[in-house]
């Protein structure tokens, strides 16, 4: 009977050790997952911000191009009026 009790205590000790190792491993993986989640969320925010800036930059360039085209047309008309002929657009 004493031998069975000692064997049971030994097994209990081994199981507790395994549980402790498993809990450490779980905690390590949980922390890694939280860090990965945070990195992913930050990346999504960065990409969204970058997309908004790109869209804004594209819109600004299009507006600038339109303004240059309008100035060119006005200049062409003024030049034509000065010379009495209408220059063709490129």
Each residue's pLDDT tens digit, 10-68: 999 999 999 999 999 999 999 999 999 999 999 999 999 988 888 888 889 999 999 99
Identify which has the larger pLDDT, 12 or 71: 12
Instruction: Using pLDDT thresholds of 50, 70 and 90, give the confidence band for residue 82.
Output: confident
Residues whose CB falls within 8 Å of the CB of residue 86, separated by 6 or more in sequence, listed in order: 76, 77, 80
SS3 8: helix
The torsion of the CA quartet 78, 83, 88, 90, rounded to 10 degrees, works out to: -70
Query: What's residue 32's pLDDT?
Result: 97
Region 66-73 average pLDDT: 90
Does pTM top 0.85 for this prediction? no
- How far is it, in rounded angstroms, from Cα 60 to Cα 84? 35
């Amino acid at each position: 009977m004493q031998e069975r009790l000692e064997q049971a205590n030994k097994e209990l000790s081994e199981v507790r050790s395994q549980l402790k190792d498993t809990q450490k491993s779980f905690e390590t993986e949980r922390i890694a997952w939280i860090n990965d989640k945070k990195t992913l969320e930050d990346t999504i925010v960065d990409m969204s911000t970058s997309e908004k800036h790109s869209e804004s930059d594209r819109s600004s360039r299009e507006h600038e191009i339109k303004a240059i085209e309008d100035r060119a047309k006005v200049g062409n008309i003024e030049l034509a009026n000065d010379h009495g002929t209408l220059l063709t657009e490129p």
